[in-house]
């Protein structure tokens, strides 16, 4: 094994570890009913769905004909 192969293996393992641990931590935070992150996530989702509904309503003449 040369230096570049070892470096690649180490980087891949670090990336995999960080990704796995980060996913677990975010999951724990969002599962808590009273967490700030969960409340923010809910607010962002509500705002996104509201904007989508507004956009679809404004553009209804474009997609309404495709439904028929």
Residue 48: per-residue pLDDT: 93
- Please check whether residues 27 and 45 belong to one and the same domain: no
Please tell me the total count of domains within the chain.
2
- Please check whether residues 27 and 44 belong to one and the same domain: no
Residue 23: per-residue pLDDT: 81
- Please check whether residues 68 and 44 belong to one and the same domain: yes
| Band of pLDDT at residue 68, cut at 50, 70 and 90 | low
Output the pTM of the full model: 0.47
- Please check whether residues 1 and 27 belong to one and the same domain: yes
Domain residues for the domain of 57 are 40-68
2-45 confidence digits (pLDDT tens): 888 888 988 998 888 888 888 888 778 777 777 787 788 889 99
Average pLDDT over residues 45-68: 83
For the chain, give the secondary structure using H, E and C.
CCHHHHHHHHHHHHHHHHHHHHHHHHHHHHHCCCCHHHHHHHHHHHHHHHHHHHHHHHCHHHHHHHHC
- Please check whether residues 44 and 26 belong to one and the same domain: no
- Please check whether residues 44 and 65 belong to one and the same domain: yes
Residue 67: per-residue pLDDT: 67
């Amino acid at each position: 094994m040369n230096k570049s192969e070892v470096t690649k293996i180490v980087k891949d393992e670090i990336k995999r570890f960080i990704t796995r641990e980060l996913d677990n931590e975010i999951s724990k935070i969002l599962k808590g009913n009273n967490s700030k992150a969960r409340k923010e996530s809910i607010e962002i989702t509500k705002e996104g769905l509201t904007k989508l509904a507004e956009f679809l309503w404004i553009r209804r003449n474009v997609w309404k004909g495709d439904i028929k």
